[in-house]
Structure 1
Amino acid sequence: MDSVAARHHPWRVFAATSVGVVAVFLSISGLTVALPTVTRELGASAAQSTWILLGYMLVTTALILVFGRLADIVGRRPLYLAGLAVFTVATGLCLLAPSAGWLIAARVLQGVGAAAVVTNNTALLTDTFPPHSLGRALGWNATVAAVAQVVGPVIGGAATAAFGWRGLFVVVLPVGVLAIASSLLVIPRGTRRRVEREPFDLAGAVLSTALLTAVVLALTPGVTSSPWLPWACGAASLVLGAVFAAVQIRRAHPLVDLTLFRNRGIALVLVAVLVNAVATYAVTLLVSLYGQAVGGISAVAAGLLVMPVAVGTVVAAAAAGSLMLRFTPRTLTATGMALNAVGLLGVTLMLSPDGGSLGATAPFLFVLGCGTGLFMTPSTSALMLTAPAERRGIANGLRSTLQNVGYLLSTALALAVATVGLSAPARQAAYGGTLGTLGSAELARFVDNVRAVGLALAVVAAAGVAVCLAFPRRNATALAAVRPLEPATTLKESA
């Protein structure tokens, strides 16, 4: 089966690659509710608990663009299947982990495989779908990822209750195997290589990885005992950022095509994607930690506690397609971001030092989920229909990277601020879900910190509304949302 034949059944490719997306995003978010159980049973330190989450996310984020370029050289299908294989093997290693160090290493390996899956997932869809339906396919692809991400804590909590902290990997392992089997059967051989002769930007790859690592270390002072290392990493990130930008601008074939930002419509959508990810991603982690550390609830109860986010996301994502027939992406994304701000503010105000108001967070978590679901599909479709046809893959790869950067920054900042000022035993107890045993002073400080994070994220979401409202009023994406235009008409730049 070649790529031409695949075009007769492109939704089969979508279905197969969606299984891989579900596996990857379950692994990103599903462990959040199980983290206290992991910390207690493996005896993980606060720093190790942080890296159990951040190690996976950092490696995935750093390698998305790297694997995107490698796929252009060696082919989409081989790298995608290799990524699925690495991810699935690493999931098995996570399942067998006897120590926190082992689990961190396995999670890092998982992140390597996940990066290849995430990158080539969208690229395969770009190669398979005809231009008039590509925007819809990529919009649904982003929706599947968003739903898997928000359902992850619910599944993680249920799996932890049934099988212990290893339960999430018990669930993800067969999903990974299914993803490999379905992809082998459905994804066509010989998907085109658009830039076979372009050299790989090794300097850009090294600089981007170093830059992200420096940023994470600067934002998470609790992962090291050295008081000066976060400051040094903060300074290094500024230098590395400037050097990386300079290198990319001068390269004929850069890792990141910064010229995309010259299009105002594309630039604003990418900024909005980053802002939305930063504002919303850490909420389920914070509420779960709060519920277990302050409210004393179990992992499965924590999963149920954040379930309204998943319900809201599914409801809004299902409605987004119909709403795009009546409203522009500008209106829908701004509304989604505003709902995020309202939900974040409401959740924050409901948190109390005794954990007695957990149930009152449900309506606001639902609103937050609705905002996420309403934002995802219109923003992705706006980007795909604004970008020129030959640069859609690059644009969506950059979208995926910035979204994952947002997830990483959101998690790093949330964990750092939530535990700032706590003693070492209190920080350990916060990760382990036993903070309530250490006295009211530490507990009150932790709750105040979590509230501070929630308010900060609400402000970020409010700023995101302004970004969305700055989208071009009249552009090709608004017309494409109403009726399927010819590619030549649909893909004009709107800046």
Structure 2
Amino acid sequence: MPRQDPARGRLITESAPQHPHPWRVFAATSTGVVAVFVSMSGLTVALPTLTRELGASAAQATWILLGYMVVTTALILVFGRLSDIVGRRPLYLCGLVVFTVATALCVFSPTAGWLIAARVLQGIGAAAVVTNNTSLLTDTFAPHLLGRALGSNATVAAVAQVLGPVVGGAATAVFGWRGLFLAVLPVAAAATVASLAVIPRMRPPASRREPFDVTGAILSCVLLTLVVLALTPGLTTAPWAPWAFWTAAAVTAAAFVVVQVRRRHPLVDLSLFRSRGIALVLLAALLIAVATYAVPLLISMFAQAVDGSSPFVAGLLVTPMALGTVIAAYAAGHLVNRFTPRALSSCGMGLTAVGLLATTAALSAGGGTAVVAVALSVIGCGIGLFMTPSTSALMLSVESDRRGIANGLRSTLQNVGNLLSTAIVLAVLTAGLDAAARQAAYAGTPGALTTSGIEDFLDNLVVAGLVLTGIAAVGVAVCLGFPRRTSDSPRPFTTTAPHGTDRPKETA
């Protein structure tokens, strides 16, 4: 049923879900999500082995780990807007094909340079997959099932991200570092075939005739890349480089805003931020990513460099985090229609802060595996309880033909948060260590750290943990600022349209 878009002065048409078996679409897209997130986080545990076997330098190892994330982050906004113009299905399928081919290239990469190039190509495909996954589900599911579907989707993404180190450790123990990509390759191929078969062909987007903002796309990619370069340690040794990157990023950001304000059809619809609820949801998504993404990295470096554990054992240590995410997200799927996003998200962020503090205390005090496992499970519960209501709230608070860019903004902020989290943990954990101790910490070489080096590392671990805890605490305040049941609230909703057809209405 057509309705007026007040922000743009035109009619937009929302199409009712047309797929007779929407859960088949969910299964297909979830398979793609698993491949993308396992490939992203699984390399955390496999990186020391990869560095030794390929003879990679410290700079090359950094690019192998972060190159994928940099490209994905830079392109999510671009693909989010592009999907609103050309359609989500074709862009999503192209992304899966590119990702699958790039994964095969990773398996057969003979040198570190080849692997960096393959990982960059992987990141391009992953950006298209991540951007369109949630939007495809929103277009496919009926309103009364959408909250459950989006909650389950958030669960799959969070669990895949946390299980990545487990898969990476196990695959590395059996097949070497190439084992991670060997494990991901069939999953990516299966996702491509299944998605091609079950994702429905939808009517052209209402914004198909709108021009694509090429200038905005270029500026956004440059801006995000500059921010990543400024925040990521080890990419350059020049002391002036961070300041130069920040200055260039500030200039680029100003230019980007000016271009977006003047464009009739901008890359980023800045009117989304007029809603206080939407703005706070996006900020909270950024904060929880910063607070939690690098926890498996912190656990892995502690286990391998201090305790001398194998990559497989290091990966297993984060399993309770995944289990907590599954349990809490399942519960949140049932609670999302009873409680507001403010209540659920605040509780989730609060649990995350408590879990981070407990994990830091347990590791610094040499607590047993059981204590650390309980603390990590609390972090996982916080993530699961936060993701479900916040994701569904955002998707249901924007017009149908703006869900691509809205989800793109969310995904971009989460990926920026992932990069920030990694940069913070790496920088703080290795602060003050000499060159030999720093190399031992990165490579996870058992026994390479001296007694004083271990003490310094543990002191840094406490600082890193407290920083992440503080970020989560700020996130609690942001969630508490979510509006209540008002017209500006991004809480999920369903209404019954005329003639008995269930369709979502906009409240934000």
Aligned identity (percent) is 67
Secondary structure of 1:93 counterpart: helix
Structure 1 letter corresponding to 2:398: A
Please say if 1:35 is aligned against 2:53: no
The answer to whether the 8 A contact 1:329-1:477 is kept is no
Secondary structure of 1:386 counterpart: coil
The answer to whether the 8 A contact 1:87-1:114 is kept is yes
C-alpha displacement of 1:492: 4.3
Secondary structure of 1:81 counterpart: helix
After the TM superposition, which residues 292-371 of structure 1 pair with which residues of structure 2 at under 5 Å, given as runs? 292-352=304-364, 357=368, 359-371=370-382
User: Scaled by the length of structure 1, what TM-score is found?
Assistant: 0.93
Q: What are the ranges of 5 or more consecutive residues in structure 2 without an aligned counterpart?
A: 1-14
2:422 to 406, 411, 431: 411
After the TM superposition, which residues 135-154 of structure 1 pair with which residues of structure 2 at under 5 Å, given as runs? 135-154=147-166
Equivalent residue number for residue 289 of structure 2: 277
Equivalent residue number for residue 99 of structure 2: 87
User: CA 1:137–1:207 in 2, change beyond 3 Å: closer, same or farther?
Assistant: same
Q: Matches of 2:17 and 2:400 in 1, distance apart?
A: 20
Equivalent residue number for residue 439 of structure 1: 450
Please say if 1:54 is aligned against 2:57: no
Q: What are the ranges of 5 or more consecutive residues in structure 1 without an aligned counterpart?
A: none
Please say if 1:493 is aligned against 2:507: yes
Structure 1 letter corresponding to 2:44: T
C-alpha displacement of 1:5: 8.6
Please say if 1:225 is aligned against 2:237: yes
C-alpha displacement of 1:489: 9.5
Equivalent residue number for residue 384 of structure 1: 395
User: CA 1:221–1:151 in 2, change beyond 3 Å: closer, same or farther?
Assistant: closer
Structure 2 letter corresponding to 1:461: A
Q: Matches of 1:449 and 1:241 in 2, distance apart?
A: 33
Q: Matches of 1:327 and 1:190 in 2, distance apart?
A: 33
The answer to whether the 8 A contact 1:248-1:255 is kept is yes
Structure 2 letter corresponding to 1:13: V
User: CA 1:5–1:392 in 2, change beyond 3 Å: closer, same or farther?
Assistant: closer
User: CA 1:155–1:191 in 2, change beyond 3 Å: closer, same or farther?
Assistant: farther
Cα displacement string for residues 115-147 of structure 1 (whole angstroms, at most 9, x for unaligned residues)? 111112223223323445444433322221111
Structure 2 letter corresponding to 1:486: T
The answer to whether the 8 A contact 1:127-1:191 is kept is no
Cα displacement string for residues 167-208 of structure 1 (whole angstroms, at most 9, x for unaligned residues)? 111110000110111112112235523322211111111111
Q: Matches of 1:475 and 1:41 in 2, distance apart?
A: 57
User: CA 1:238–1:449 in 2, change beyond 3 Å: closer, same or farther?
Assistant: farther
1:246 to 258, 273, 289: 258
The answer to whether the 8 A contact 2:482-2:489 is kept is no
Structure 2 letter corresponding to 1:437: A
1:427 to 434, 438, 443: 438
Secondary structure of 2:495 counterpart: coil
Q: Which moved more, 1:129-138 or 1:247-256?
A: 129-138
Q: Matches of 1:424 and 1:443 in 2, distance apart?
A: 14
Equivalent residue number for residue 263 of structure 1: 275
User: CA 1:357–1:217 in 2, change beyond 3 Å: closer, same or farther?
Assistant: farther
User: CA 1:120–1:386 in 2, change beyond 3 Å: closer, same or farther?
Assistant: closer
The answer to whether the 8 A contact 1:221-1:230 is kept is no
Q: Matches of 2:17 and 2:95 in 1, distance apart?
A: 24
Q: Which moved more, 1:259-268 or 1:180-189?
A: 180-189
Structure 2 letter corresponding to 1:416: A
Please say if 1:466 is aligned against 2:477: yes
Q: Matches of 1:316 and 1:125 in 2, distance apart?
A: 21
Structure 2 letter corresponding to 1:261: F
The answer to whether the 8 A contact 2:284-2:475 is kept is yes
User: Scaled by the length of structure 2, what TM-score is found?
Assistant: 0.91
Equivalent residue number for residue 287 of structure 1: 299
Cα displacement string for residues 267-316 of structure 1 (whole angstroms, at most 9, x for unaligned residues)? 11111111111111111111111111111100110111111101110111
The answer to whether the 8 A contact 2:357-2:465 is kept is yes
Q: Matches of 2:53 and 2:432 in 1, distance apart?
A: 25
